[in-house]
């Protein structure tokens, strides 16, 4: 589905200084997989997602979607951002309908689909609200519905639950899994939370701190549908978390050494 081929990204921080954000990343993501990119902040994991989204052009290397080089954003790859990025001048329904309308879907069809999606993300009754009237968790539900509405083949989620409180975050994780388990879209999910990555993913890509390199790829072999209450007691789930945490601890110690 997605091929990332020796991608590097250099940002010019000032006239003389360059910052190597990503170094020689190669990764392939199969159709229908839930893949998390996990790493400390500043490791370039979001940049990698933006490159797949076509929002950022890599300095070197190439990202491909279904064999074709990614040159820019497109409705086959739908982003969901930590900042929600809703259109504040549109109602909840207007936001969700925006993509389908842009794709040329008839108004009445777009409205019916959008209402159904809002029902699915648990926002029935909030169709005519404006984003400013919603809580963070509700805003992110709208953002998810808005992206799902134009049927992207890949969901690109950039720390989508990072700005939410722990309780809301857990509920949204559960709901995301429920929705995902219905149609199994390919998901690329950026997070810095180990639990979140293990709970949601088929595959966790661990990245090192700057410059971002792939440190290890871990397959999460846990049964689906996953239920949090069962997983928390599952020794395999606990083992994955301990294993990943330990690896990050090791690398932190290496960095602290003089």
Partner 1 sequence: MMKRAAPFLACIGLLVIWQLASLALKNDSFPTAVEAIRAIPSILGDKDALVNFGASIRRMTIGFGVAVAVSIPLGLLMGRSRTVASFFNPLLMVIYPVPKAALMPIIMLWLGVGDLSKTLVIFLGVSLPVIYHSFEGAKAVEEKMLWSGAAMGLSAAQRMLRIVLPAALPEILTGCRTGLVLALITMITSEMIARQSGAGNILFNALDMGQYDTVFAMIIIIGAMGIGLDGLFERMRARLVHWSEPQFDIPLSFS
| Interface residue list for partner 1 (CB under 8 A) | 50, 53-55, 72-75, 77-79, 81, 83, 85-90, 98-99, 102-103, 130-132, 146-147, 150, 152
CA distance 104 to 114: 14
- Residue 149 CB, nearest approach to partner 1 (Å): 9
- Residue 136 CB, nearest approach to partner 1 (Å): 14
Nearer to partner 1, 16 or 132 (CB): 132
CA distance 135 to 151: 25
- Residue 80 CB, nearest approach to partner 1 (Å): 9
CA torsion sign, 222 to 201 to 76 to 142?
positive
- Residue 84 CB, nearest approach to partner 1 (Å): 8
Nearer to partner 1, 141 or 213 (CB): 141
- Residue 188 CB, nearest approach to partner 1 (Å): 13
Question: The tokens of 94 are what?
Answer: 């207007």
CA torsion sign, 189 to 244 to 213 to 1?
negative
Nearer to partner 1, 35 or 110 (CB): 110
Nearer to partner 1, 154 or 194 (CB): 154
Q: Cα 1 to the chain's mean position, in Å?
A: 16
Nearer to partner 1, 98 or 161 (CB): 98
CA distance 203 to 226: 14
Say if CB 138 and CB 61 are below 8 A apart.
Answer: no
Phi-psi region of 156 (alpha: psi -120 to 50; beta: other; left: phi over 0): beta
Question: The tokens of 119 are what?
Answer: 């029902």
Nearer to partner 1, 28 or 87 (CB): 87
Say if CB 42 and CB 209 are below 8 A apart.
Answer: yes
- Residue 179 CB, nearest approach to partner 1 (Å): 19
């Amino acid at each position: 589905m997605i091929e990332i081929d020796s991608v590097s990204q250099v940002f010019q921080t000032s006239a003389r200084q360059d910052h190597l954000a990503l170094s020689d990343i190669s990764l392939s993501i199969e159709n229908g997989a839930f893949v998390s990119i996990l790493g400390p902040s500043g490791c370039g994991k979001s940049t990698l997602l933006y490159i797949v989204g076509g929002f950022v052009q890599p300095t070197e290397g190439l990202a491909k979607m279904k064999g074709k080089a990614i040159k820019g954003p497109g409705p086959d790859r739908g982003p969901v951002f930590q900042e929600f990025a809703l259109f504040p001048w549109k109602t909840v329904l207007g936001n969700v309908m925006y993509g389908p309308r842009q794709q040329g879907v008839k108004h009445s069809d777009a409205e019916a689909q959008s209402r159904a999606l809002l029902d699915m993300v648990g926002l029935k009754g909030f169709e005519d609200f404006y984003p400013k009237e919603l809580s963070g968790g509700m805003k992110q539900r709208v953002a998810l519905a808005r992206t799902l509405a134009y049927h992207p083949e890949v969901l690109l989620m950039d720390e989508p639950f990072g700005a939410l409180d722990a309780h809301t975050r857990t509920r949204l994780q559960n709901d995301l899994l429920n929705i995902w388990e219905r149609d199994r879209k390919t998901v690329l999910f950026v997070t810095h939370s180990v639990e979140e990555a293990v709970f949601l993913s088929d595959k966790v890509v661990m990245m090192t701190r700057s410059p971002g390199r792939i440190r290890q790829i871990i397959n999460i072999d846990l049964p689906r549908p996953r239920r949090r209450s069962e997983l928390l007691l599952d020794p395999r789930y606990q083992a994955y978390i301990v294993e990943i945490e330990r690896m990050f601890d090791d690398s932190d110690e290496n960095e602290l050494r003089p």
